[in-house]
Each structure stands twice: as structure tokens, then as C-alpha cells.
């Protein structure tokens, strides 16, 4: 099949009217789309909740452990009574 024949075949396909869809296909697509949207919304809310819980857990750990404070030296005892 040479180029003009291919172009003619494509034009013929493009000029045809699209086939009619059954009426229940639209309803099924809407139902599936709303279900996917609900699942995505629930997943996003769970992820935000997980991130919030991780932030709170990190903040509580940081306040109790205070990792920014240098630990006391244990190599020499403190000098008292001078």
C-alpha cells in the first residue's frame, strides 16, 4: 500500500460517523469514575493524616530527647569544693 492509498484509507476512516455506544456504558463510566474519585480522596486524607501523625511524633520525640543539647561529658568528674 503506497502513500496515497494509505491517506485515502485514513480519510475514509476519519469521515465515518463514530459507532453508537450502548446507554449503560456511560452510567458504568460515571459509577467507576466516582468510585475512583472517592478512593483517591480517602487515600489522600489518609496520607495527610499519616504525615501529621509523623510530624507530631517527631515533635514529641524532639522535645523529650532534646537531640540539640550536647550530652554531659563522662571522662572527668566535675570539680567541686575548691
Cβ neighbours for 9, distance < 8 A, ≥ 6 positions apart:
1
pLDDT tens per residue across span 22-62: 888 989 999 999 999 999 999 999 999 999 999 999 999 99
Please tell me the predicted confidence (pLDDT) of residue 67.
85
Alpha-carbon distance 43 to 23, whole Å?
31
Amino acid at each position: 500500500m503506497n502513500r496515497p492509498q494509505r491517506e485515502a484509507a485514513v480519510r475514509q476512516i476519519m469521515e465515518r460517523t463514530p459507532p453508537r455506544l450502548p446507554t449503560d456504558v456511560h452510567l458504568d463510566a460515571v459509577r467507576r469514575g466516582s468510585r475512583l474519585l472517592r478512593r483517591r480522596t480517602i487515600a489522600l486524607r489518609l496520607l495527610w493524616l499519616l504525615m501529621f501523625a509523623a510530624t507530631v511524633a517527631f515533635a514529641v520525640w524532639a522535645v523529650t530527647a532534646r537531640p540539640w543539647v550536647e550530652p554531659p561529658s563522662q571522662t572527668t568528674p566535675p570539680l567541686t569544693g575548691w
